[in-house]
Structure 1
């Protein structure tokens, strides 16, 4: 059974004027990807806007056939592409409109639904076609394609070869480490050095935490960090185990959790604070927070209260942390065990002495009566 989308796209491409004269069909997905990246209008855009654009471009490029036409059967629908690219529907529409205006995309068939399709009485009649996704053809302006051909001095073929799917027996599929790889093909990045004259300085970012060369031991979940380095290690573990906190840097997270750590919180306590109220109940379920630092600050602030005592430091916990509750329980159990051991030792000492045994029994009875609640008169 033939695909109606592909038939319409083939009719458009096989017609006398499939695309405007100043545009050419992209020869490959890699060439189209390079054309979008090198377009002059992308240089003046913000970095987050470019990231959204390239995410949409990747979805379009990976959902096309050999004729450079998007295929709905491969998931080239707005809902699928927006979800896979991690952008909203309005952002996807904006990036598609930008590509259409710059000649980097040509709409072959528009998307339609039964409600707005002619002859269905606004969806009252079912024509059996269902929702039809729009199809696009990947195009490049002729002048930009010529500029890319002139700049392509050999590395373009390598780029296209690496962008295409590797063969089954490709040596790049071997798991790392592959000791048989030549040194020049290991793709090990070299440190970028900026030449400023007599001295050269490495191009590094001081605010970013460098990635360790070897795995480091994670901070224990039941230990309270004391120093700044220990707090940073605890925040690294929280980021590694929580995808929401992973959107923040470890240093920023440490600044928000510093007061909680100073009051004796552990990694497990922080998890409990972020997902439970001080009374013990869980926070109401909701979508992922839009602004993670504000979400963390609000959840932590709910567990803190001003301290009005003379020797207080100005703030204290409104409710004990789970680790403090467990520690108080273990301390009470140890005191009870110590008291029972002492009473058993005293009873063994007074064994055989009726007077001493009676005095000891009287002493324990009076202690029990003093702990019992007073009866109402």
Structure 2
């Protein structure tokens, strides 16, 4: 006589699906819920730990299809499950790892994003798959099923709240369903089970993939010379500054073109937008209402007309930080060169008292000429 609890619904999955031999697909969501609740390792845990586990189990059980596989379009994603169960992502990862280690859950497909998926060059190529949520199949260890077979009197009922979320339309589920890569979400790493098909029709978590293109890596200490280089520098400024992100890269390039032509780098532009000439910080204020006018006004504070030329040439009112650093480096290099020359001359005239005295007098006169004269 076949036991109803041990009857495995193989028609729900591919018969050739390699589920481990000691596991079987749960006959119903209610049977799986009772198997988790009756597991021997559950009784040894604290009451608050069991409450968190059963909250996660309830969300998994009510967000599966008839094939006992979780459906992301029914809300079986980390973000939705953690929010509805009232647990953190770390707690959700811990409970999922516990279920997988006990054979009560098998991961079918891992959650991936285009940026971390192989073959996309870290998101530079769009493979058209978008973000994919992890899917799991509800399983029961054969040994546990045999021990519960005598006490099972459920008759195969499903776990159904007032309205069964697993049977509702997927458009009623909170959207979008976001997933993060395995390395960032602390997803447990058991072996991935291939169900036999290429993918389930409800695996995809988002129809439109998020923008994951790499940020333009123009060096922050280099001055852009051409229009293409200026555009790359503005793209990096937009990516790193939420205020400048409200402008397009081309619009920002038109506002900063004069600064770039005068030798400004990305670091100089950041300094100009937040400091007055002389390196005094601008007073703290709220976010600008009109970003183009804010950028133009703060950039013009560093510009002035060159009165020495006949035309209307624009020059800097104060040196940029990169120019100050470069002038300091040049001064240090010139001083080092002068000291090296003096040392070479001293070594050349070593042992010659007359030449040494003349060289000493020469250095003394040069030092006196540089010293400030006494007013008295």
TM-score (norm 2): 0.47
More helix by proportion, 1 or 2?
1
